[in-house]
Amino acid sequence: MRGVSITEPGDADVLHLTDVDAPSPGPGQVVIDTAAAGVNRADVMQRLGHYPPPKGASPLPGLEVSGTIRQLGPDVEGWSIGDEVCALVDGGGYAEQVLVPAAQLLPVPAGVSLQDAAGLPEVACTVWSNVFGTNTGCLTANLQPGEVFLVHGGSSGIGTMAIQLATAAGARVAVTAGSEEKLAFCRDLGADITVNYREQDFVEEVRAATDGHGADVILDLMGAKYLPRNVDLLATAGRLVVIGLMGGRTGELDLGALLRKRAAVIATSLRARPADEKAAIVAAVREHVWPLLEEGAVRPIIHGTHPLDRAADAHRELEASGHIGKILLTP
């Protein structure tokens, strides 16, 4: 079969479509014929050499796919060959066939195309486990109805899912984005407070829009660059969840501000979680998010697709940050 390999750490040109060994399922695993694969910032970090795959995972990039079950390993129950599915994977999504733990499979939601479903697992699992977190066995922000929720990068794949889920949960949603087009799209999804980070200070804007209250929960992909301002904006008992380091790894944390506000800073990643935690997250997403997708309250936001042999173009588009929603690869 064909898959996209990373020849060495570097820019997008190190991604090459090559012949690789087809996977074979072991106990509790399935093989999927890939219909589409999601492109994520984590894939870019892996390409740059900053985010190696977990032990035992495929060295190929790609953390989410959709497709049709081709093979079942021993001890797999509840799934059949030919089922249309999407999945959270530990690696290897940029390939014509993908090995997946059966506990990380999800059915394609009614009303969602097989291809578009590839844009769901990573963002749904990331947002649910960090912002809501029911039954996932890990620290979360536990967003409540009526609370103010700020998501940075509101037009990203994570952001568009976060807006929709938080709106469905009854929160008041604020976002940052870099253009009026992106902010307008976020408003259409349910965002109430929109801030152009290129022209406005998000601390001032959100505080003014909430009569000084600030944000109860902040979902942040920037890391160090936004840390002091995020803490400044937190309301009493607020929760800052850091899930990305696009703005750096090391920043200054005002512990006095956290103490005064009785606030918390939580930092998490999804890929490195143990298999049982991932299985619990996937199960919670199926229970809580999938009904919202099937009733149309939440939908995948797909910016566009690239063929698998143009994975480098997909990475360039992602890094240029002009997109809204998810970018997919199709074999």
| Confidence (pLDDT) at 135 | 56
| Confidence (pLDDT) at 134 | 58
Q: What is the pLDDT along the chain (331 residues), one digit of tens a residue?
A: 999 999 999 999 999 999 999 999 999 999 999 999 999 999 999 999 999 998 889 999 999 999 999 999 999 999 999 999 999 999 999 999 999 999 999 999 999 999 999 999 999 999 999 999 755 556 689 999 999 999 999 999 999 999 999 999 999 999 999 999 999 999 999 999 999 999 999 999 999 999 999 999 999 998 888 999 999 999 999 999 999 888 778 888 889 889 999 999 999 888 888 999 999 999 999 999 999 999 999 999 999 999 999 999 999 999 999 999 999 999 9
Residue 181 has which token pair? 């087009």
Question: Looking at the structure, do residues 187 and 256 belong to the same domain, yes or no?
Answer: yes
Question: Looking at the structure, do residues 107 and 22 belong to the same domain, yes or no?
Answer: yes
Report the C-alpha gap between 181 and 322 in whole angstroms: 10
| Confidence (pLDDT) at 116 | 98
Question: Looking at the structure, do residues 281 and 224 belong to the same domain, yes or no?
Answer: no
Question: Looking at the structure, do residues 42 and 149 belong to the same domain, yes or no?
Answer: no
**pLDDT tens column, 245-285:** 887 788 888 898 899 999 999 998 888 889 999 999 999 99
Report the C-alpha gap between 92 and 130 in whole angstroms: 24
Average pLDDT of the chain? 95
Question: Looking at the structure, do residues 102 and 154 belong to the same domain, yes or no?
Answer: no
Question: Looking at the structure, do residues 70 and 184 belong to the same domain, yes or no?
Answer: no
Residue 132 lies in a domain: no
| Confidence (pLDDT) at 137 | 55
Report the C-alpha gap between 66 and 25 in whole angstroms: 17
Domain containing residue 35: CATH number: 3.90.180.10
In contact, 228 and 220? CB cutoff 8 Å: no
Question: Looking at the structure, do residues 324 and 260 belong to the same domain, yes or no?
Answer: no
| Confidence (pLDDT) at 139 | 65
| Confidence (pLDDT) at 13 | 97
**If phi over 0 gives left and psi between -120 and 50 gives alpha, with beta otherwise, what is residue 195?**
beta
The residue out of 267, 302, 317 marking a domain boundary is 267
**pLDDT tens column, 184-195:** 999 999 999 999
Question: Looking at the structure, do residues 253 and 300 belong to the same domain, yes or no?
Answer: no
Question: Looking at the structure, do residues 311 and 258 belong to the same domain, yes or no?
Answer: no
In contact, 160 and 324? CB cutoff 8 Å: yes
In contact, 119 and 62? CB cutoff 8 Å: no
